[in-house]
Structure 1
């Protein structure tokens, strides 16, 4: 008797299996991308606790964020090229392993210096985690509708992560301590690596681009010099030889970078694209979005904890108006896109970002930071501007260039985004600490005079007090003076921090308005002849 042959799967069953496999691949790659967002936002929430427990200086606090973003921004494009050459799954697994090991090193850091060195390594791991994950999604979904659905789900995962990460950071910081904000990455990475091995097939690019080593080195060095100047400038003085030398070195390195990139056949960044005014305007909008809105995911938790006195968990909850607006407004942007040209949505988004920052500056400067409603409204407006830009900037950039240049344009967009976060964070930090020092110079002598305390008016102690307040280490600041002065000095310190942040928010708002005008001029002028041609 013949053994019946096994039934072949029907077309529907094959399609269902393929859909399930594609969904698993998409969720796996999206989880890798979400890890970078989760880590950035969680660390932002616990950063004041890190500063206090490690007695970090303000420069140390800046480097904890800056070292990570600098390495991330410099290596993201080359990581994509390396993944295309040596295999996307292989490089993805290497990135996961590197990110996990660096996260463990961050959690074990005994000093602030150890921490920001480990954060630099974590930024390297993040670049080699994000770039191949994006390439895996791009390679796995070819058809137009499938690709649109895939990127839509990817965007939903990233948006949900952005909303939940402040809460997750608050819960971790409040219950387990700041070290677990890093340690938690290890088991997640282990599960992710297991899923990658089981689900993600290996793939390589048919046409492999060489890695632009000179371009990478020059770009990273230039960014490092400028970042270094922003971080140590407030302490050393902006006119000091060391700061001027760092700024000059950064400018010279950027000029050399531009010349080298123009001469290379396969540059890291094809600067010829900037000859197009619409492309330049859209890229500026991306940079401004990152520097004035996205950067607030790291700055707002510091404001909420150090200026308002919120707990770690309280700061995570208070971030919800900003985070929800960042999640919801891209959907509004999609509807606006049916009625308005892209550049107008960018201008509206930058305008809202400017208004939100100015509103935050007002709330902070008026000393009504404890009034919940004005603060919530200001954060929602700020997040709304960021949400519109988050959904539109990438689309605007890709819409200004020919399809065959899409890969390079996407790389430039990503590089400008993270460069904006880095320079925005360090520049606004410099404005913050300058404002704190100005306020402390007036407030502390007033406290001492009111308390009729003599012999404690030396400038060195006051500068140390201002440095500790800038870093968010209020306990260290209060130890510099007698315990009897703790309450009025704490009030003076929080007031100084509010005034410093008021200046930082105002600077961010002014830059957003300036960029809105520049985007209108560059993209709007280019759109007018096209509109006239279509009308005729």
Structure 2
């Protein structure tokens, strides 16, 4: 049966939206079950971090490769392969019996998810090229992605309450099958006619650099910053990232074409992409821990509270697209980042209230989520729209790489800030003979939700909650300041473009 172009486009949009739903659910439903995984699988704070970071680092390892492979061998073909692997690895995650197996499975799932996400954006960009149709397609993609993100915490909490945590992962099996069928029927194959070669050296150096830096931030403080392993991991990270830059500049067909950074429209949007992942997204891991461990809510209560944080990502993208068409992305993206930063600072203020509760942090959650909704879809549409259509895979690869690299680093960095702040708060309350390693173990245990009694300690009433409030407050402050700084940087980069437009000069 032959399908009309309209029918194919509808199936393509349905497939891309369903894939984005799975990816969104995987981001927002897993953090809310981390306290459950800590109990059921007997994981510690570092392992909880790696359950999230394995996914994001794995995404980073395949992003650039997927963009190149999709351009060379076909976006539809890569989309089908990534969907199949995502479904299978999700089943392995659901059947994991230990944190080690779950972390390994999450790495596979992250590889599939990163490839799947690149293909979503590339397929949309290729199959919907007209301005109005493109805007509607990306708007629908943003809405469904928002559904996954917005309702993920509630869905994850409900699954734990009604069944068990395994179904947070297992649900992706049947969803992947349906999506595969839609892709097979609807997506038209497309390639880059230049057929660029795979940049193995660039992929290896970037992946090694990001992994080593995340390992250094996560494991280094416990080992000691002067420990040879910490120093070696930091040195490997820096050398690998510098090597990546050298490799890409010398290649005739680079995986990352640094020339695109001279396009101010692309660079301004890319700063928005990174800014979201210095604030909103990494805090998705830590907000459930704050709500459960500091405010004392159950899993379902935590899911309902987090809905305020993620629900605006569902409601705001259509408005963001209209605003971007009217005022241009160079105004909407910095404004969205500024709203995220203001939301974090408002959450910080609410967390320090005498009777802190979901009501005191609600305004900040809503504002931060609104800022994310304003920023996310315009960033994606702008980065892919700033380059020729045949290089959509490369552009989307750079965009998602910026997101995943900054997300991986900031999951680790926020954890470092949290533990260090809790250590500072409880140091005076603990026995004088406690060494640095034991003190850090106490801080990590409190961060993961363990009580003083479970850690074999006697602390004054309210001391644990005060320490947690100080620790999570430091993370909120970091996220707020980072988002505001990226808003300013994005505004300045876009500002030159605005000045050129006003003066009637050529824009790049």
User: Does structure 2 retain, via aligned residues, the 8 Å contact 1:171–1:313?
Assistant: yes
Determine if the alignment matches structure 1 residue 419 to structure 2 residue 396. no
Determine if the alignment matches structure 1 residue 52 to structure 2 residue 39. yes
- The CA distance in 1 between the partners of 2:17 and 2:76, in whole Å, is 14
Determine if the alignment matches structure 1 residue 347 to structure 2 residue 334. yes
- The CA distance in 2 between the partners of 1:398 and 1:182, in whole Å, is 30
- The CA distance in 2 between the partners of 1:500 and 1:237, in whole Å, is 20
Summarize the Cα distance change of 1:50–1:368 in structure 2 as closer, same or farther, 3 Å threshold.
same
Segment of structure 1 superposing worse, 57-66 or 203-212: 203-212
Which runs of structure 2 are paired with 1:358-507 in the superposition (5 Å)? 358-366=345-353, 368-370=355-357, 372-398=358-384, 407-444=393-430, 458-459=434-435, 462-472=439-449, 474=450, 478-481=453-456, 491-507=462-478
Question: Deviation of residue 239 (structure 1)?
Answer: 4.2
User: Does structure 2 retain, via aligned residues, the 8 Å contact 1:222–1:254?
Assistant: yes
Q: SS at 1:71's partner residue?
A: helix
Which runs of structure 2 are paired with 1:53-72 in the superposition (5 Å)? 53-72=40-59
Summarize the Cα distance change of 1:461–1:402 in structure 2 as closer, same or farther, 3 Å threshold.
closer
CA RMSD, aligned part only? 2.9
After superposition, what is the alpha-carbon deviation per residue over 1:32-55, rounded to whole angstroms, capped at 9, x for unaligned?
Answer: 232111111111111121122222
User: Does structure 2 retain, via aligned residues, the 8 Å contact 1:234–1:433?
Assistant: no
Segment of structure 1 superposing worse, 504-513 or 521-530: 521-530
Which runs of structure 2 are paired with 1:69-88 in the superposition (5 Å)? 69-88=56-75
Q: Which position in structure 2 is the counterpart of 1:452?
A: none
Please, which of 291, 309, 312 is the counterpart of residue 322 of structure 1? 309
Q: SS at 1:269's partner residue?
A: coil
Q: SS at 1:56's partner residue?
A: coil
Question: Deviation of residue 424 (structure 1)?
Answer: 1.9
Q: Which position in structure 1 is the counterpart of 2:258?
A: 271
Q: Which position in structure 2 is the counterpart of 1:448?
A: none
Q: Which position in structure 2 is the counterpart of 1:231?
A: 218
| Structure 2: runs of 5 or more not aligned | none
User: Does structure 1 retain, via aligned residues, the 8 Å contact 2:142–2:377?
Assistant: no
Q: Rg: which structure is higher?
A: 1
| Structure 1: runs of 5 or more not aligned | 1-8, 446-455
- The CA distance in 1 between the partners of 2:159 and 2:445, in whole Å, is 25
Q: SS at 2:285's partner residue?
A: helix
Higher normalized contact order (CA 8 Å, seq sep 6+, divided by chain length): 2
Q: Which position in structure 2 is the counterpart of 1:449?
A: none
Q: SS at 2:152's partner residue?
A: helix
Which runs of structure 2 are paired with 1:232-311 in the superposition (5 Å)? 232-276=219-263, 279-311=266-298
- The CA distance in 2 between the partners of 1:336 and 1:146, in whole Å, is 16
Question: Deviation of residue 277 (structure 1)?
Answer: 5.0
Q: Which position in structure 2 is the counterpart of 1:450?
A: none
Question: Deviation of residue 395 (structure 1)?
Answer: 4.1
After superposition, what is the alpha-carbon deviation per residue over 1:336-387, rounded to whole angstroms, capped at 9, x for unaligned?
Answer: 44664533333322222211111222222445432x3221101111112222
User: Does structure 2 retain, via aligned residues, the 8 Å contact 1:56–1:471?
Assistant: no
Question: Deviation of residue 294 (structure 1)?
Answer: 2.8
Q: TM-score if structure 2 supplies the norm length?
A: 0.90
Summarize the Cα distance change of 1:426–1:368 in structure 2 as closer, same or farther, 3 Å threshold.
farther
Aligned residues: 504
Summarize the Cα distance change of 1:329–1:442 in structure 2 as closer, same or farther, 3 Å threshold.
farther
Which runs of structure 2 are paired with 1:178-197 in the superposition (5 Å)? 178-197=165-184
Q: Which position in structure 2 is the counterpart of 1:512?
A: 483
Q: TM-score if structure 1 supplies the norm length?
A: 0.85
User: Does structure 1 retain, via aligned residues, the 8 Å contact 2:445–2:455?
Assistant: no
After superposition, what is the alpha-carbon deviation per residue over 1:129-157, rounded to whole angstroms, capped at 9, x for unaligned?
Answer: 33334444444445444333333322222
